[in-house]
Structure 1
Amino acid sequence: MKKTFKNFVLGATVCTMIPLSSFADEITFAHGANKGNPRYEAANLFAALLPKCTNGNLTVNVAPSSTMGDDVEMLTSAISGVINITANSQGAMAQIVPEVGALGLPFLFSDLPSAWKVLDGEIGNIIDKKAQEKGLKVLTFWDNGIRNVTSSKKAILKPGDLKGMKIRTPPDAVSIAIFKALGANPSALAWSELPTALRSGAFDGQENPLTNIYSAKLHEITPYISMTAHQYQSTPVVASLMWWSSLDKKTQECVQQSAKRAGWYERGLSLMENKDLRAKMEAEGAKFFDIKDKKPFIEATKSVYKDFDKKLGNGFVAKLQAAAK
């Protein structure tokens, strides 16, 4: 299924063949995902699409699995022009463009397509303008799924079950605020360090979409998986503005369209895997718990909206809520 879908996307690509107008024939596309993750597959697809679009004048060196540093380091490298493109994280990006963090406000999106529609519209354009002020160009938003809590000890069925729980979050102010509001003891940690930290007992649990949990085998360490669906997170795909500005318009179009086409492949994989992974993980010993009543969780996290509306102070949260509806 994956190969068929990927071949279709690759075969359907139609780009104008153009001469290169940049300072490097080979560009670096860096990300933190491991093999088997939709982002890993999409980055490889981007690397196949771009040379076709540019008549071979631009080739892509994909640097996966945080080989170019963690998400914050990759963004810093992109701003300075050391790397050209990174498929990054919402939390790290929010440290540069705070509005990105608001995409993860609690229980904002009910499903993945709803989130994609918002990201591909006015909200995405606003974020892109903010990013360019900081030296980054948003090419598109790939998917990082709707997040659920995993624990080494117990199921999470009500907010009280999180009281005092040591839980890892990404370096994302909204994620930390959500779990503080729910009574947990959250702490940020880089993705690459998470499996070791869980095994050591430094954390009681963590939260991630099923695709990330499965690809990193976190369900083997924290087998209690509670379907909280508390937060959506995107994967902003951003280019160095320094490099982007050196390209002519046709080359820019090639880069952006290749990123978007690879993104639809990545989103499709994410959507399909979310339907299949539960059964796979259950077969491998994970225990899933559905939450019948999410109202207590929603009520407990309302303060997060007020706090971030005040923090951003530009009406962005209201625009985002309106778009999500």
Structure 2
Amino acid sequence: MKMKFLAILATTTVLAGGVQAAEVIFAHGSNPGNPRYIAAEKWAEEYQACTGGADTVNVAASATMGNDVEMLTSATAGIIQITANSQGAMSQIVPEIGLLGLPFLFDDLPSAWKVLDGDVGKMLDERAQTAGLKILGFWDNGIRNITHVSKAVPNPADIKGMKIRTPPDQMTVDIFEALGAAPAPLAWSELPSALQAGVFDGQENPLTNIYSAKLHTITPFVSMSGHKYETTPIVAGLGWWQSADETTKKCAVEATKKAGELQRKLSQEGDETLRPKMEAEGATFTEVDKKAYQEATASVYDKYAETYPELVKALKEAVGH
């Protein structure tokens, strides 16, 4: 019912003086406190200011418009206009975006941002448009670490047989299968309850996501694997984008960039500052043998190099690997 109500709101809103303003639904799956949630509010503020109030924005947070896959479908269908989405869900539509998650590809966040803000980002947008979507820009979803209910996993051998939740992303599944774990995809909104029910031994996410969802209170053993990077593509339905006037397009892109600067800053700060907060709340942190993890996941590069040899090579060269 809530989704239908929000969809109805996407039609028009009457402003003072009888002028009708279109309402833009900006949907995402994050909860209050998450950098994505904060940036979405910033996006609405920037966009409305840029349009001079000609359009209004309804930020539909916390997966009220469905999970990431459902939001992408809704954007394509014109039910919503824009979504701050996920690399995993987008990789089902644009497989090349999944290559950003090759194991240990990026050493830090700025390295990933540089690649996304260049030719690679433009190429991914071109691919998305053939599938009915327009990428307005790339926010951040961090470098990911592993949490477990009962133990640290400093070496690949420690992860064998681990039931681990992954996003709906084949790259992540491949990484953990290479490590000998038992990965299974699950929507982000369903993760806390699944962990509490014992469906999984653990999960993997950047510290900002782990902390904002309080996953460290359920899986308090945090192993700093840094095994892969993920982006947060800001995606518009191509139908809405193509029908929008130039002012609307300009404002949408500018709002994405300005809010993205804030989101990236918060994401990076989270990686740098959240560890002591989480430790104070009972989490135990462990460093891992990254060389051993890299060697154990080298086969993932071989698999994707067979299908995307030029792009895998270009990504490795772009980051100096």
Shared fold (TM-score greater than 0.5)?
A: yes
- Please, which of 86, 90, 114 is the counterpart of residue 89 of structure 1? 86
- Please, which of 52, 56, 60 is the counterpart of residue 55 of structure 1? 52
Report how far residue 315 of structure 1 moved.
1.9
Report how far residue 314 of structure 1 moved.
6.0
2:174 matched residue in structure 1: 177
- Please, which of 293, 308, 313 is the counterpart of residue 304 of structure 2? 308
After the TM superposition, which residues 155-166 of structure 1 pair with which residues of structure 2 at under 5 Å, given as runs? 155-166=152-163
Report how far residue 249 of structure 1 moved.
2.4
- Please, which of 133, 145, 153 is the counterpart of residue 150 of structure 2? 153
1:213 matched residue in structure 2: 210
1:296 matched residue in structure 2: 292
Report how far residue 300 of structure 1 moved.
1.0
Kindly report the root-mean-square deviation, in angstroms, between the aligned alpha carbons of the 2 structures.
1.1
Would you say 1:319 and 2:311 are equivalent positions?
no
1:142-197 deviation line (CA, Å, top 9, x unaligned): 00000000000110110000000100000000000000001101000000110111
Q: For residues 160 and 120 of structure 2, what CA distance do their matches in structure 1 show? A: 34
After the TM superposition, which residues 237-248 of structure 1 pair with which residues of structure 2 at under 5 Å, given as runs? 237-248=234-245
Report how far residue 317 of structure 1 moved.
1.4
Report how far residue 80 of structure 1 moved.
1.0
- Please, which of 198, 201, 205 is the counterpart of residue 204 of structure 1? 201
Q: Residue type matched to 2:271 in 1?
A: N
- Please, which of 20, 24, 29 is the counterpart of residue 27 of structure 1? 24
SS of the aligned residue for 2:225 comes to strand
What is the total number of aligned residue pairs between the two structures?
Answer: 301
Would you say 1:257 and 2:264 are equivalent positions?
no
Q: For residues 99 and 271 of structure 2, what CA distance do their matches in structure 1 show? A: 23
Residue 145 of structure 2 contacts residue 206 of structure 2 at CA under 8 Å; is this kept in 1?
yes
Would you say 1:103 and 2:100 are equivalent positions?
yes
Q: For residues 320 and 128 of structure 1, what CA distance do their matches in structure 2 show? A: 16
Report how far residue 66 of structure 1 moved.
0.3
Q: Residue type matched to 2:311 in 1?
A: F
**Structure 1 residue runs of 4 or more that deviate by more than 2 Å after TM superposition:** 248-251
1:20 matched residue in structure 2: none
1:269 matched residue in structure 2: 266
SS of the aligned residue for 1:305 comes to helix
Would you say 1:118 and 2:112 are equivalent positions?
no
Residue 51 of structure 2 contacts residue 247 of structure 2 at CA under 8 Å; is this kept in 1?
no
Q: Residue type matched to 1:142 in 2?
A: W
Report how far residue 24 of structure 1 moved.
6.2
Q: Which runs of 5+ in 2 are unaligned?
A: 1-19
Q: Residue type matched to 1:310 in 2?
A: E
Q: Which runs of 5+ in 1 are unaligned?
A: 1-22
SS of the aligned residue for 1:259 comes to helix
Q: For residues 309 and 135 of structure 1, what CA distance do their matches in structure 2 show? A: 27
2:35 matched residue in structure 1: 38
Q: Residue type matched to 2:39 in 1?
A: A
Residue 26 of structure 2 contacts residue 40 of structure 2 at CA under 8 Å; is this kept in 1?
yes
Report how far residue 324 of structure 1 moved.
2.1
Question: What percent identity do the matched residue pairs reach?
Answer: 60
Q: For residues 305 and 246 of structure 2, what CA distance do their matches in structure 1 show? A: 36
Q: For residues 53 and 247 of structure 2, what CA distance do their matches in structure 1 show? A: 14
Report how far residue 276 of structure 1 moved.
1.2
- Name the TM-score, length of structure 1 as normaliser: 0.91
1:58-88 deviation line (CA, Å, top 9, x unaligned): 1110000000000000000001111000000
2:7 matched residue in structure 1: none
Report how far residue 274 of structure 1 moved.
1.4
Q: Residue type matched to 1:324 in 2?
A: V
- Name the TM-score, length of structure 2 as normaliser: 0.92
1:216-250 deviation line (CA, Å, top 9, x unaligned): 10000000000000000000100001000011223
Q: For residues 260 and 283 of structure 2, what CA distance do their matches in structure 1 show? A: 29
Report how far residue 103 of structure 1 moved.
0.5
SS of the aligned residue for 1:153 comes to coil
Q: For residues 46 and 25 of structure 2, what CA distance do their matches in structure 1 show? A: 14
